Chains A and B, each alone.
Chain A
Amino acid sequence: MSSTEVEVRATAAEAKRAAERGAKSRKIAGISVSYLILIIGCCIAIFPFLYIVSLSFKESTSLVSYPPKWIPDPFYFGNYTFLLGETSYIRWAFNTFAFAGSVTALKIFFDSIAGYTFAKMDFPGKEILFTFVLATLMIPFAATLIPAFLIVKNLGMVNTYWGLILPPLASPIGIFMMRQFIESLPKDLENAARLDGCSEFYIYLRIILPNCKPALAVLGIFVFMTQWTNFIWPLVVAKADEMRVLTVGLASLKGQWVTNWGVIAAGSVMLMIPIAIVFIFFQRWFIAGSMAGALKE
């Protein structure tokens, strides 16, 4: 091998390496920009929350200060003590849990058993009924708000838990979700149970339910979140102070006593804390649930 040949090869190799380095550094630059934009996005998403956390520890009189003080000094707990002592906040929180929890529990039961029926059982009118259930997806809640309220009123359930809980049960999404999932379970599984002496209800309870835990978790989180954040229905049906849910109660604080912004900030923080905690632990299910909920909110 002559020395020129060696040189030519060396240069070629070097050029190739340089090109690779160039591509690599371009790629690194691209990724860095991506991360930069994403981090800015995260900040915009999160900053308002931090901002009200900060506000909730300030006295109303010191809300407006220039230059702004991001970290409250001194820490003022009056907003929280006021909220817990002078308003029905605790009662609202209880109402919200009772309301969202009951709807979730009932929905899990009703939707899973209806999903099982549609997925696995034969009966006349099945297709028609299922089409009907799907069709109700198209009806916006606002359209049926008035008569739903009038029905609840005629049943004497205004300002009661029943009035809060029962109407949101009429929602087709969960049935659809559960049917999709249960359909994927093998038919022979229930057939085996049928021969082993199970009644249809026992097949549902002992065989189907234990095998669709992931779907139940997604459904549960989805329903709970929907009702936890529900506003217009509780606003319409449970106006009495002791029957309010958190969202309605919080909204009522605005303008009740010459709007005490510090208190509202504190109320918002306390409303978001349980959501944040649950979200951190069950992030995967939340995102799966929101995809399922993509059908309707």
Chain B
Amino acid sequence: MANVEILEVTKKYKEVTAVDNVSLNIEDQEFLVLLGPSGCGKSTLLKMIAGLEEITRGEIYINGKLVNYTPPKDRDVAMVFQNYALYPHMTVKDNIGFSLKMGRVHKGEIGKQVEDVAKILQLDTFLERRPEQLSGGQRQRVALGRAIVRKPAVFLMDEPLSNLDAKLRIQMREELLRLHDRLQATIIYVTHDQIEAMTMGSRIVLLRDGVVQQIGPPQDVYDHPVNAFVAGFLGSPSINFFEGQLVRRDGTWVFASPAMQLAFPAEVGAKVDAVNHGRLGESTPVSIGVRPENFQVVDGQNARMKGEISLVEFVGSDKYVYLDMPSAHCLIRTSPWFHGKKGDTIGLEPDWEHFQLFDAEGRSVFWWNPEA
């Protein structure tokens, strides 16, 4: 088993920088998720770890050994591809056993190991079939089996669930986690699906335009986003942003916008003061972020935030309520028993504990660490 160290890695294609100076330390047995929108460089990074893409600058170590110049087959990594990349001309059995055959493992031994893996993945009855005779879920299992049978130091998974339907995806998510427990393996997992990332990752690395935005356990990243991008990318429905100015009024900080005049409670004001080393002055443009679930519905008359309901969506466990405010929109999540209808005006109070504040550059006032 193994750890992977990525040191100041950069990948350039001619003029385009796909991965920009990324450093990461992946612990042994960790389930690390590389998350980001498409084109953010996450797959490129994974391919560099696998050895399928050259590294423009920087170093990658697997188990302390520099692998920049090691061919993929000697890196002791296995990969599961988005489209599975099963060999169309081979049976399931030969697909799974192919790497062992290449490694000159004895024939009888190959058969035994392939059967063991097939049993774990419930593929034992399909061994003689060819990939085109399998369903999507079965193909996905074969792709997994092909990786597992090699007992690699590191598993690399490139959006392995994205071609499955929603139900199967949830089921496979669970199976993958079980497999991770069982194999005690290091897994580096690429996805653009933030739910997948949060449910599976022991840590998440959020990438944007080849640059690491934030690294941390899912809840940490969710609760303490370092910038507006991270806050906006995680969470569904996504966080509400309000643009405005931060002003000082009667000794307290007030967020002022056409939609609201929001005076911060004392403890939040103290928090702002604590991190503010002259960064936030009078009338600084800022934005605030409040997640849909972090609102409290209050009486519309005296509330500091008011909105008119434009749409109510019932999704079973919740209701999503869309509000129009003066030059702003807002989406809140309420219990399914909420009574409001289109055209009603309701008042809101943010949950100050989960309240986000971003400066003009989109950096979080509370969580942005200039040293990181």
- The answer to whether A and B come from one shared complex is yes
Contacts of A188 in B (CB 8 A): 81-83, 85
Q: Which of A60-68, A111-119, A192-200 contacts B (4 or more CB under 8 A)?
A: A192-200
A186, A191, A192, A198 pick with most chain B CB within 10 angstroms: A192
Interface residues of B in 78-134 (CB under 8 A from A): 78-79, 81-83, 85-89, 98-99, 102-103
CB distance from B225 to the nearest CB of A (A): 33
Interface residues of A in 191-221 (CB under 8 A from B): 191-199, 202, 207, 210-211
Residue of A nearest to B149 (CB): A196
| Complex Cα gap A198–B74 (Å) | 10
Contacts of A202 in B (CB 8 A): 102
B50, B51, B52, B82 pick with most chain A CB within 10 angstroms: B52
| Complex Cα gap A224–B72 (Å) | 39
Residue of B nearest to A191 (CB): B52
The answer to whether A189 and B85 touch across the interface, beta carbons within 8 angstroms, is yes
Contacts of A195 in B (CB 8 A): 50-52, 72-73, 77-79, 99
The answer to whether A196 and B85 touch across the interface, beta carbons within 8 angstroms, is no
Residue of B nearest to A199 (CB): B73
Give the number of residues in A that approach B within 8 Å (Cβ atoms).
Answer: 16
Question: Is chain A's interface secondary structure helix, strand, loop, or mixed overall?
Answer: helix
The answer to whether A194 and B72 touch across the interface, beta carbons within 8 angstroms, is yes
CB distance from A193 to the nearest CB of B (A): 8
In the complex, whether B291 has a CB less than 8 A from a CB of chain A is no
In the complex, whether B146 has a CB less than 8 A from a CB of chain A is yes
Residue of A nearest to B75 (CB): A195
CB distance from A4 to the nearest CB of B (A): 62
| Complex Cα gap A25–B36 (Å) | 66
The answer to whether A192 and B81 touch across the interface, beta carbons within 8 angstroms, is yes
| Complex Cα gap A65–B146 (Å) | 76
Contacts of B88 in A (CB 8 A): 211
The answer to whether A191 and B79 touch across the interface, beta carbons within 8 angstroms, is yes
| Complex Cα gap A207–B87 (Å) | 7
Contacts of B85 in A (CB 8 A): 186, 188-189, 191-192
Interface residues of B in 17-52 (CB under 8 A from A): 47, 50-52
Contact with B along A177-194 (1 / 0, CB 8 A): 000000000101101111
| Complex Cα gap A202–B72 (Å) | 14
| Complex Cα gap A189–B86 (Å) | 7
Contacts of A199 in B (CB 8 A): 73
The answer to whether B83 and A196 touch across the interface, beta carbons within 8 angstroms, is no
The answer to whether A196 and B99 touch across the interface, beta carbons within 8 angstroms, is yes
| Complex Cα gap A280–B51 (Å) | 49
CB distance from B69 to the nearest CB of A (A): 15
Contacts of A207 in B (CB 8 A): 87
The answer to whether B83 and A197 touch across the interface, beta carbons within 8 angstroms, is no
Interface residues of B in 162-194 (CB under 8 A from A): none
Interface residues of B in 59-82 (CB under 8 A from A): 71-73, 77-79, 81-82
| Complex Cα gap A191–B83 (Å) | 12
The answer to whether A198 and B73 touch across the interface, beta carbons within 8 angstroms, is yes
B47, B50, B77, B102 pick with most chain A CB within 10 angstroms: B102
The answer to whether A211 and B98 touch across the interface, beta carbons within 8 angstroms, is no
CB distance from B197 to the nearest CB of A (A): 22
B50, B72, B83 pick with most chain A CB within 10 angstroms: B72
CB distance from A210 to the nearest CB of B (A): 4
| Complex Cα gap A210–B88 (Å) | 9
Residue of A nearest to B102 (CB): A197
The answer to whether A196 and B98 touch across the interface, beta carbons within 8 angstroms, is yes
Contacts of A198 in B (CB 8 A): 73, 102
CB distance from B47 to the nearest CB of A (A): 8
| Complex Cα gap A195–B10 (Å) | 22
Residue of B nearest to A196 (CB): B99
| Complex Cα gap A199–B102 (Å) | 9
Contacts of A191 in B (CB 8 A): 47, 50, 52, 72, 79, 81, 85
Asked whether A196 and B102 contact (CB < 8 A) given A188-B81, A207-B87, the answer is yes
Contacts of A210 in B (CB 8 A): 89
CB distance from A176 to the nearest CB of B (A): 24
Residues in B lying within 8 Å of A, measured CB to CB: 47, 50-52, 71-73, 77-79, 81-83, 85-89, 98-99, 102-103, 146, 150
The 9 closest A-B pairs by CB, nearest first: A197-B102, A188-B85, A196-B99, A192-B85, A210-B89, A197-B73, A188-B81, A194-B72, A195-B72
17 more A-B residue pairs beyond the given contacts A193-B98, A195-B72, with a C-beta to C-beta distance below 8 A: A186-B83, A188-B83, A191-B85, A192-B81, A192-B85, A192-B87, A192-B146, A195-B51, A195-B77, A195-B78, A195-B79, A196-B73, A197-B73, A197-B102, A198-B73, A210-B89, A211-B88
13 A-B interface contacts by CB (under 8 A): A188-B82, A188-B83, A189-B85, A189-B87, A191-B47, A191-B52, A191-B79, A192-B79, A192-B86, A194-B52, A195-B51, A196-B98, A196-B150
